Amino acid sequence: MIHLITGKGGVGKSTVAAALAWGLAAKGRKTLLVELGERSYFRHIFHTDLQAHAAEISTHLTVARWEGESCLREYLLHLLKIERVVKMFFDNKVMRALVQAAPALKELALLGKITSGPRHVGPPLPYDEVVVDAYSTGHFRALWRAPVGLAEAIPYGPMGEQSRSIVRVLKDPALTKFYVTLIPEELPVTEGLELARDIQSELDQQPVLIYNRFLEVPLKLEQIKKFQGHDFADYLSTHLERQAGLKHELEQRGLPVRVLPWLFAESAPEKIRRLAPVMEAP
Amino acid sequence: MIDLLKQHKVLVCAGTGGVGKTSMSASLGVLAAKEGLKTLVLTIDPAHRLAQALGIKQPAGQEHPVAGVPGLWAAMIDPRREFDEFVLGAVDKGIAKGLFENRLYQQLVSNLNGSQEFTSLVKLVNVTQSGKYDLVILDTPPTQNAVDFLRAPERIYALFQDTVIGWFANPAREESWFKRTIHRGTRLVTGALESVTGSTFIHELKDFFNHIAYLKERIAKVSAQSSALMHSPQTGFVLVTGFDEAKLREALEFQQDLAGEQLFLRAVIVNRWFPEWAEGERAWPAHWDEDPEFKQLKEFYGQFANFFRQRQDAYEKFVTQLGKSVPVLKLPDFKNAVQGLDDLGVVAETLKEKWRSIT
């Protein structure tokens, strides 16, 4: 199964992705946790260098960082077989410019690799679960719209074929699962729900909504409101009202919702371990 | 703060996603306008209520005066529309139409990776040249690193180099593109591209290049203009970040990116700092102290505050690494989400106060 985790910037996508991967690995599933892009976040969490190679964290958990160009390189090598030609391709000035700026190429290469298991294309990806800490909302849309757009634009030839087979995997609920992360603030919820709607309408998939950083307070709202005028009581009641209102809003959507508590823990590995069981709950 | 606003023609708010760049840009705008500067805030896709407060309506792209704040203007950048207008301004209608119909062009403009950044810079260059404003504040699209944003015109311009266009653009369409490639190496590379992508794609690609070849000069000009504008001493960067270890680390990487490009970082705003005021600045009735529920509330505050105090270490480290040359403003979390003009006014006043206390 491929798990794609998205959400607005700053909502804790990476922690959510890591918690999911951690939980799956703990159950004995061979799991690959992937981060996208040129900068590594997980290397700070797992204290390992992810600049070039995947790193084994435990028996069942491996972490990797993928970016567009290296995925493209790997794919070309798979197709062309000859390292020298691939090198020539990437050393070529024109191809460099094309890879840097040509629309959709990098996105296609990334999604191509992510979906390579079920498509049996490219080097084998021997994992039961692939968990991707994917881009935030805007870039995430661009990511899946690349193969969707190219599948329509290029009716014939390998590029169109690849795009169509990637789209088939993305649209298959038995192969791919989407997660939209939200936190109790207006903008992340609005953006997240818009994205969830687009996933539903454009990919016919039902994303899981992850309501992250849910503040659990030992007092009820009415109890806190008794102390109206106290700065913290006011701060807290405003927060709780917003949190409950937005929770109601996302429950209205008829999508599966998982609530992840705010943890008073600064250490990321500790957070990941504690959130893992919650991610698995039905 | 006023000096900062007055000494610059352009302020660029940079930072990773979800740190409150848009609210900060808008608040700085309110502050500048109140100080008598004719100010424009350029933003991308603001929160609905914030857009309402700034009077931004559809269609995007136009500059609106902000009702209630004399001297403040706002505009939302719509990359797609902006790119189309850029094309229409650069080439004749027939070529523009051909380009709009090309599917790769459609991908290019809807693919946020480069077009958002590029169109922001085009718009920025246009409004600064218009001379209508004393100050333009640009809210940048979220990127993983600052350089991504700045290099967007360069990346797009790379597509327009003679060699690239020469390869693909082909005035005599019937001529095989293989024939024009003399070197065996080049033939190998083009052959590889064709075998990987297919002839339909190559056809679309050639059509794309045949059209965009006409944009070359205009793109080169914008690329040079935006680079000059970014490196001007009258352009300052304001780095917005959040109060946790990961965000502060990202901010440091951003600062290094900016330094590497020799850009001027003028201020760092650490947004949503722990609300120290929440401990209770106002007095409360004495009998509350006897109430077990109030005790519980205070206990919970203790837990809450303690959690944030641990983050102080990360912050101290950040400030040390940042060095003394850049002022750092800590902006505490507010009780309500920053949404309306009043909220922006409060943020503006707080920024002003914090700036005064550290400079």
pLDDT, one tens digit per residue, over A188-206 is 898 899 999 999 999 999 9
What is the overall mean pLDDT for chain A?
A: 90
Distance between CA B309 and CA B328 in Å, rounded?
A: 18
What is the overall mean pLDDT for chain B?
A: 84
Q: Is the pLDDT of residue A248 over 70?
A: yes
Chain A nearest-CA residue for B146: A39
Contact B186 A106 (CB under 8 A): no
Compute the nearest-CA separation of B278 from chain A (Å): 4
Q: Is the pLDDT of residue B79 over 70?
A: yes
Compute the nearest-CA separation of A221 from chain B (Å): 11
Distance between CA B306 and CA B298 in Å, rounded?
A: 12
User: In this complex, is the C-beta atom of A10 within 8 Å of any C-beta atom belonging to chain B?
Assistant: yes
- Nearest beta carbon to residue B189 from set A88, A160, A235: A88
* The pLDDT of residue B146: 65
Compute the nearest-CA separation of A29 from chain B (Å): 29
Position B6, amino acid: K
> Would you give the DSSP letter of residue B276?
G
* The pLDDT of residue A138: 80
User: In this complex, is the C-beta atom of A27 within 8 Å of any C-beta atom belonging to chain B?
Assistant: no
Contact B200 A157 (CB under 8 A): yes
User: In this complex, is the C-beta atom of A29 within 8 Å of any C-beta atom belonging to chain B?
Assistant: no
Q: Is the pLDDT of residue A207 over 80?
A: yes
User: In this complex, is the C-beta atom of A198 within 8 Å of any C-beta atom belonging to chain B?
Assistant: no
Once rounded to an integer, what is the mean pLDDT over residues A10-35? 95
- Could you give the strand order of the β-sheet that contains B64-65, starting from the edge strand earlier in sequence? B64-65, B72-76, B39-43, B135-139, B10-14, B235-242, B265-273, B328-332
Q: How far is CA A108 from the centre of its chain?
A: 16
What ipTM is given for this predicted complex?
0.85
For B181-239, how does the pLDDT look when each residue is reduced to its tens digit (9 = 90+)? Answer: 556 667 778 788 888 888 888 888 888 888 888 888 888 888 899 999 999 999 999 99
Position A143, amino acid: L
Q: Is the pLDDT of residue A233 over 70?
A: yes
User: In this complex, is the C-beta atom of A267 within 8 Å of any C-beta atom belonging to chain B?
Assistant: no
Model-level pTM? 0.90
* The pLDDT of residue B115: 75
| Residue pair A146/A104 in contact by the 8 Å Cβ criterion | yes
User: How many residues would you count in chain A?
Assistant: 282
Q: How far apart are the first and last CA of chain B?
A: 9
SS3 category, A250: helix
Contact A93 B161 (CB under 8 A): yes
Contact A266 B310 (CB under 8 A): yes
pLDDT band at B359 (very low <50, low <70, confident <90, very high): confident
Contact A39 B253 (CB under 8 A): yes
Contact B196 A136 (CB under 8 A): no
Chain A nearest-CA residue for B253: A39
